[in-house]
């Protein structure tokens, strides 16, 4: 997203919550956050817990967002907003939280007669669903489905969101309009959307899955060959270790005979260690010591060796290591399909969207495995 796109998104986000714009400058934006926005992006949860418990009037937070790092405002504490900024990620999360499901009405006043007696015009209920279909293996391909389900006369259309962007929509029903009854429930509409998504997946080329399985078989063969060779080398290594131990045992008697006893001398008396009286942290600080030194001397406990669970530090056997690596390869290469719900809404429309074929699905990107969303 460019700087102008970031600003447009932020302005639309703030306008949705009817935020008060204190100052709108070409380079920055000063806004007084409403309650919902403040709780989502204000970063002061303790303040809001205190206000809610004490039932106090809140003090709105005023922020200044700058969109060009080389043109920051003078005399204002501004925050640079860009795609990777932490505050921008909070705005995205807030928009997803509050806008995952909406209810909108088409404002089609052109269909009303200009003069004479006005009659009520019906609005047809539609369920709009945006889905992301992910084809996953060691590579990844995402497919976006924008489905619309007619709840009055059951049918499914594709590319529904693109059609909605062309319509004047409002959260309030317009005058001289009324809504038709729903002939099917939302659960039935979701089932129809699921069947349509399965039909789209069935029409996709399945060669990617066969290729992924072939790559998996190749990787598993290489792994099996490696551990077979490792198993052949282990007896030789064990025999070499045993020979070394026998050689060391044979050298021990000769070394014992070569030892000449030294005359014994009395050892000097060992001074008893001076035990200092235990100090509290206040006494330690008053004597000029640092808190960190006091914690290091008194706060770190040493676990005796016999209390350490040695099973946790046990070395893995070759079979356990082989099985673990095989599981990792299967997780990486095995083909699978995941469908994620992005957002949706209930739309009451006067006009009818055109019927789109299954080719309306759009591939958005093709990424390696490390870019997958699980």
Give kind and range of the element (H or E) at residue 161. helix 160-164
232 in a structural domain: no
Domain identity same for 143 and 174: yes
Domain identity same for 190 and 52: no
Look up tokens 């990486």; give the residue: 332
Domain identity same for 13 and 90: yes
Dihedral-angle region of residue 8 (phi above 0 means left; psi in -120 to 50 means alpha; beta otherwise): alpha
The SS3 call for residue 335 is coil
Domain identity same for 66 and 107: no
73 in a structural domain: yes
Domain identity same for 88 and 49: yes
Last residue within a domain, chosen from 99, 127, 147: 99
215 in a structural domain: no
Q: How confident is the model at residue 143 (pLDDT cuts 50, 70, 90)?
A: very high
Distances (CA, A) of 17 to 78, 87, 94: 21, 17, 11
* pLDDT beyond 90 at 124: yes
Domain identity same for 92 and 107: no
* pLDDT beyond 50 at 277: no
Q: Which of 273-282, 332-341, 350-359 has the highest mean pLDDT?
A: 332-341
Q: What is the residue range of 57's domain?
A: 3-99
Report the share of the chain in percent with pLDDT over 70. Answer: 75
For 196-215, write each residue's pLDDT tens digit. Answer: 999 999 999 999 999 999 99
Instruction: Please provide the distance, in angstroms rounded to a whole number, between the alpha carbons at the two ends of the chain.
Output: 24
308 in a structural domain: no
- Check residue 355 and give its pLDDT: 72
354 in a structural domain: yes
Domain identity same for 89 and 107: no
Q: Which of 109-118, 146-155, 305-314 has the highest mean pLDDT?
A: 146-155
- Check residue 275 and give its pLDDT: 38
Last residue within a domain, chosen from 99, 133, 166: 99
Q: What is the pTM of this model?
A: 0.63
For 10-56, write each residue's pLDDT tens digit. Answer: 999 999 899 999 999 999 999 999 999 999 999 999 999 999 999 88
- Check residue 23 and give its pLDDT: 92
Domain identity same for 7 and 80: yes
Which of 154, 145, 274, 135 is CA-nearest to residue 212?
135
Mean model confidence pLDDT for the chain: 82
Which of the pair, 358 or 322, is modelled with greater confidence? Answer: 322
* pLDDT beyond 50 at 370: no
192 in a structural domain: yes
201 in a structural domain: yes
35 in a structural domain: yes
Which of the pair, 24 or 296, is modelled with greater confidence? Answer: 24
């Amino acid at each position: 997203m460019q700087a102008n796109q970031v600003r447009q998104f932020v302005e639309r986000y703030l306008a949705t919550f009817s935020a008060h714009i204190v100052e709108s400058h070409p380079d920055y934006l000063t806004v007084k956050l409403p309650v919902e926005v403040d709780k989502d992006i204000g970063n002061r949860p303790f303040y809001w817990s205190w206000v809610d418990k004490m039932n106090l009037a809140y003090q709105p937070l005023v922020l200044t967002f700058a969109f060009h790092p080389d043109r920051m405002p003078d005399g204002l504490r501004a925050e640079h907003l860009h795609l990777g900024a932490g505050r921008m990620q909070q705005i995205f999360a807030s928009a997803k939280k509050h806008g995952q499901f909406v209810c909108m009405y088409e404002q089609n006043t052109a269909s009303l007669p200009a003069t004479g007696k006005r009659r009520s015009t019906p609005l047809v209920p539609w369920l709009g669903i945006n889905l992301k279909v992910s084809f996953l293996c060691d590579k990844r391909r995402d497919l976006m489905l924008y489905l619309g389900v007619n709840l009055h006369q059951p049918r499914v259309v594709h590319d529904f969101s693109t059609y909605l962007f062309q319509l004047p929509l409002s959260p309030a029903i317009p005058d001289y309009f009324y809504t038709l009854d729903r002939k099917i429930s939302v659960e039935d509409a979701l089932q129809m959307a699921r069947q349509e998504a399965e039909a789209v997946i069935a029409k996709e080329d399945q060669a990617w899955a066969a290729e992924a399985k072939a790559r998996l078989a190749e990787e598993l063969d290489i792994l099996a060959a490696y551990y077979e060779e490792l198993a052949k080398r282990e007896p030789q290594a064990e025999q070499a270790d045993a020979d070394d131990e026998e050689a060391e045992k044979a050298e021990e008697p000769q070394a014992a005979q070569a030892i000449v006893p030294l005359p014994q001398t009395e050892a000097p008396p060992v001074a008893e260690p001076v035990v200092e009286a235990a100090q509290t942290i206040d006494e330690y600080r008053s004597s000029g010591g640092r808190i960190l030194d006091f914690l290091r001397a008194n706060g770190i406990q040493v676990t005796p060796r016999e209390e350490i669970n040695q099973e946790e530090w046990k070395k893995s056997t070759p079979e356990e290591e082989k099985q673990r690596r095989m599981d990792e390869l299967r997780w990486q290469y095995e083909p699978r399909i995941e469908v994620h719900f992005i957002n949706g809404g209930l739309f009451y429309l006067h006009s009818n969207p055109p019927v789109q074929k299954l080719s309306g699905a759009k591939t958005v990107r093709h990424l390696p495995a490390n870019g997958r969303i699980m």
